A and B are shown apart, each in its own frame.
Chain A
């Protein structure tokens, strides 16, 4: 899906390093959502952001994980001091308004070695 751009597509980090995942929403979309898919599981909600605001972070682990969506630039999902259990596919989605159907990016596959 060319609309929502995520990079990098693949990211390998050693335990203890930081991972930064970027998401540029579709043009005109001001709502961004991050989801995580662990092996053999469905997509799990992590956080919902609008420009410069975190609206709902109820699905995000309290420690090591943070997200932002600045006024200019992409949304960033940051994972500090990564552990093997953080290995997953991280998907970003955007929508033009709240509770509208999402458009997903192609995901970032994080591997922690």
Chain B
């Protein structure tokens, strides 16, 4: 039962362009959403979060958008840099648990 879905397993973007990573969820009880970035052989690193009462949160080059009616979350990275190449996980919280998507591998091409 995958309550959080990342339907694109991979994405390639040219350096300097915008990267858009998408995430869909099914549980309307989720009240807090996060994006994590993961490099090989390392644990996930927190990137940015958004509460369900907001529809946008921005932190530098990273912006997260939440569309509650569509149950859709997206992460925008602009401009994309080669160091952004990693696997990105979205996560959603209800109760004690965070539910994670399966990840999108982003490759930023120099």
A contacts, CB < 8 Å to B: 1, 4, 6, 33, 35, 40-45, 48, 55-56, 58-59, 91, 93, 98-99, 101-107
Contacts of B36 in A (CB 8 A): 104
**Using an 8 Å CB-CB cutoff, how does the interface string of B72-110 with A read, 1 for contact, 0 for none?**
000000000000000001010101111111110000000
| CB<8 Å pairs between A and B, sample of 22 | A1-B43, A33-B98, A35-B100, A42-B4, A42-B6, A42-B101, A42-B102, A45-B98, A45-B99, A55-B96, A56-B97, A58-B97, A91-B43, A98-B96, A99-B93, A101-B46, A103-B46, A104-B43, A105-B43, A106-B42, A106-B43, A107-B43
A-B contact count (CB 8 A): 57
For residue A44, give the distance in angstroms from its CB to the closest CB of chain B: 7
Name the interface size band of chain B: 20 to 34
Q: Does B45 contact A (CB under 8 A)?
A: yes
Q: A4: which of B4, B34, B43, B97 is its contact (CB, 8 Å)? A: B43
Contacts of B43 in A (CB 8 A): 1, 4, 6, 91, 93, 104-107
- Complex CA gap A44/B100 in Å reads 7
For residue A69, give the distance in angstroms from its CB to the closest CB of chain B: 14
Q: A43: which of B41, B89, B96 is its contact (CB, 8 Å)? A: B89
Q: Does B16 contact A (CB under 8 A)?
A: no
Q: A102: which of B4, B95, B98 is its contact (CB, 8 Å)? A: B98
Contact yes or no, B44 A48, CB < 8 A: no
Contacts of B32 in A (CB 8 A): 99
Within 8 A of A (CB), among B15-45: 32, 34, 36, 41-45
- Complex CA gap A58/B89 in Å reads 22
Contact yes or no, B96 A1, CB < 8 A: no
Q: B97: which of A41, A45, A106, A107 is its contact (CB, 8 Å)? A: A45
